[in-house]
Structure 1
Amino acid sequence: MSSNFEPITTDLIPGASHWSLVVPKGHVIRFTDVQGGANLSVLFYNPKNLLERYNAPDTLKCQHTFKLTTGNCLYSDMGRVFASIVRDDTGWIDTVTGVANKAKVAAQWGDRDYQHERNHWKQNGYDSLVVEVAKYGLGQRDLAANLNLFTKVSTDSEGFMHFAEGHSKAGDVIELRIEMDTLVVLTTCPHPMNPAEKYPYKPVEIAVAKADPMTEDDVCLNSREENRRGFENNRRYHMTSSILEH
């Protein structure tokens, strides 16, 4: 958790929206569930090399977990750490269930388009992410498995997945400390397993601040031995990048 969080910038992302921003190394991005019950689907890319992006399998297997929360790191497919989760009020971030597509949303909440509904149309997470990554020259094939912040999906003893209603409360915060310059792509569209009868428009507040320096007792650094190797990969990457820039 950033002890002296002084926002440099703050924005409110409405429900059923998409957005992106490049967050420099050494900053914290804070997400706040404004009303409770939000879902924030997120992807990460290296803005200097868009072929490097968040890798869900490596993130989970190297930290021996199915879910993510405080103390976990988010890995790229190059073995580097995009971000560390330094605060998670919810205790569980969904990692495996992806986003809803147009057909899923239409089947559950009805098929409505922007031309008739304007800003209250029923957008879906998949198309939202495709539209957002297109701003950077990326497309459908560049969508990796995403995170769903503020959402919990657990499994029972027989392997069936269950969506936890009311998992995130109003005011709950998740903070990511950015460990290398990172393009963050996100959408506030509802989770594909959300059973709500009415399409949920849930906003999320986003704020960015300078991060406190990492200390030797840092929870993310020490939660797994693999994380130390990830941070070492970051150190070498930044050292090489600095030499090449000069």
Structure 2
Amino acid sequence: MVFIPTLSEKKSENSDYKKEILAGDGFMKRINKGDTLRIVDQAGNQAADTLFFLADDPADHYSASMTIQEQESLYLSTGTILVSESGKKMLKITADTCGQHDTIGGACSCQSNTVRYQREKVSMHACRDTFMLEMSRFASGYPFSKRDLAPNINFFMNVPVAPEGCLDFKDGVSGAGFYVELEALEDVVVLISNCPQLNNPCNAYNPTPIEVLIWKGEA
């Protein structure tokens, strides 16, 4: 099957919110129902580790297993509905110029870096660190903690699954300026770690910035 990218009519200069997130930095923000969120891979082959929580019940977060089961596919693209642990529809991917996003590779951690690469990498910055830092800073009545870190989405990351079930971290299929766009079907909170990974060759050992844009929905 040939992938035909779904382009959005929304122009970045008309967005209601825009923020660049440097490699290794994080982002956490409430997205209201009806709003549109766009994540842009500015230089190509960067991984944007992302989690979503229902704003009114953050314990009910994005579920990789429920989403995979609902769409009968391991990968996310245009038309995918992101589903919570309780089965609630959270967001819908409405535009995608990349075509494939990983939902099973998970976020890098200091511990996984030692397993995947070498023991000496244990002190290197990892996405789980960024997630924890952003949750500690987020102003909310909900006590976010490491218990809220579930299997996340890796936007723009290419993790093929071999016939025998093994995972492989390959060169990305994204390019400079590629983006994914999601419409919030409920009030949600988005949590992003722009991966600082210096060991994975998918980004030529050079992590780069991403950009987040938001368009407000009709009131």
User: Secondary structure of the equivalent of 2:164?
Assistant: coil
> Relative to total residues, which structure has the larger helix share, 1 or 2?
1
The match for 2:101 is 93
Tell me the residue number matched to 1:146. Answer: 152
The whole-number CA distance in structure 2 between the counterparts of 1:24 and 1:197 is 32
* Aligned partner of 1:59 among 62, 67, 70: 67
- The yes-or-no answer on 1:71 pairing with 2:63 is no
| Structure 2 counterpart of 1:131, one-letter code | L
| 1:102 aligns with one of 110, 115, 121 | 110
* Correspondence for 1:45: 53
Which of 116, 124, 131 is matched with 2:133 structurally?
Answer: 131
Q: Within 2, Cα distance between the matches of 1:210 and 1:191?
A: 32
Aligned length: 205
In structure 1, the partner of 2:167 is 161
Distance 2:188 2:73 in 1: 23
Equivalences for residues 1-246 of structure 1 within 5 A: 2-5=8-11, 6-105=14-113, 107=117, 111=121, 122-134=124-136, 135=138, 136=140, 137-190=143-196, 194-195=200-201, 199-211=205-217
Shift of 1:192: 9.6
Give the share of equivalent positions with the same residue, in percent: 27
Distance 1:193 1:84, change over 3 A: farther
Aligned position for 2:4: none
Q: Distance in 2 between matches of 1:152 and 1:212?
A: 34
User: 2: distance between equivalents of 1:80 and 1:197?
Assistant: 34
RMSD of the alignment, in Å? 2.6
- CA separation of 1:208 and 1:197: change in aligned 2, threshold 3 A: closer
Per-residue Cα deviation, 1:7-56 (whole angstroms, up to 9, x for no partner): 00111000011110101111111111111111000011112222111111
- Partner SS for 1:41: strand
| Partner secondary structure for residue 201 of structure 2 | coil
* Range moving further from structure 2, 19-28 or 98-107: 98-107
Partners in 1 of 2:203 and 2:58 — Cα distance? Answer: 38
- Where do 5+ consecutive residues of structure 2 fail to align? 1-6
> TM-score, normalised to structure 1's length?
0.75
SS of the aligned residue for 1:42 comes to: strand
TM-score of the pair, normalised by structure 2 = 0.83
Structure 1 residues 5-14 or 187-196, which shifts more?
187-196
Letter matched to residue 127 of structure 1: D
